[in-house]
Amino acid sequence: MKAFHQMSARELKSKFSQGEEILAPGIDLQGVNSPELPSSVSRSRGKHYNNKKWEGINLNTLLDKQTSRRGLQQYSSFEEKLCQRLVVAKHWVVLVQIARQVEALQEAQLHLITLRSIRRYLANHVIRKEVHQLGGLVLRNVVLQEKSQTFSHKRNVWG
């Protein structure tokens, strides 16, 4: 005769579907509490949870409202700084892409259209101070390149 914990799912379903006959002598309920349980069956049933030492975590401070608020405030200021850096990085990437387009378009003599697009981009987007400075550097470099190319072009035409 099989012990309760050794029965298959099909056998258990058939026994439970028979109603109160589950307590009949056909099932050995002693097997459930027997010391011969397989090693895969845990005997602790959660007892180790209460005795577990929480390394580095003080549960009382987790429950303290003031401490948790301070932690949230620190997190929110960190999150805010991170978001600002991401905004700056995003606009920097766009400006670098535009600068690359400028370099590619300079060969095709279309700098003015690109300069307008850079100025329009900077005017239409609310960008942090650092990005304005970066954008100014990009614009200044493009304008200087354009002036030098125009001067050399005029020199070649008139020279």
What is the Cβ-side half-sphere exposure of residue 117, based on CA atoms within 13 angstroms? 14
Average pLDDT for 54-77:
57
Does 62 or 84 have the greater pLDDT score? Answer: 84
Residue 96 belongs to a domain: yes
Domain with 154, as residue range(s), is 88-158
At 15 the pLDDT is 75
pLDDT band at 128 (very low <50, low <70, confident <90, very high): very low
pTM for this predicted structure: 0.21
What's the one-letter identity of residue 65? K
Copy the structure tokens of residue 131: 């990005």
Average pLDDT for 142-149:
59
Residue 95 belongs to a domain: yes
Average pLDDT for 21-41:
53
Distance between start and end Cα atoms, the chain: 112
Average pLDDT for 34-53:
56
Cβ burial, residue 91 (10 Å; 0-12/13-18/19+):
buried
SS3 per-residue string spanning the chain? CCEHHHCCHHHHHHHHHCHHHHHCCCCEHHHHCCCCCCCCCCCCCCHHHHHCCCCCCCHHHHHCHHHHHHHHHHHHHHHHHHHHHHHHHHHHHHHHHHHHHHHHHHCCCCHHHHHHHHHHHHHHCCCCHHHHHHHHHHHHHHHHHHHHHHHHHHHHHHC
Average pLDDT for 26-54:
54
Residue 5 belongs to a domain: yes
pLDDT band at 9 (very low <50, low <70, confident <90, very high): confident
Residue 141 belongs to a domain: yes
At 12 the pLDDT is 77
Residue 71 belongs to a domain: no
* Domain count across the chain: 2
Provide, rounded to the nearest whole percent, the portion of the chain with pLDDT above 70. Answer: 10
Average pLDDT for 9-27:
64
Does 109 or 120 have the greater pLDDT score? Answer: 120
Among candidates 8, 1, 54, which has minimal Cα distance to 31? 1
Residue 93 belongs to a domain: yes
Residue 99 belongs to a domain: yes
42 backbone dihedrals φ, ψ, rounded to 5°:
-80, 135
At 3 the pLDDT is 72
Does 61 or 156 have the greater pLDDT score? Answer: 61
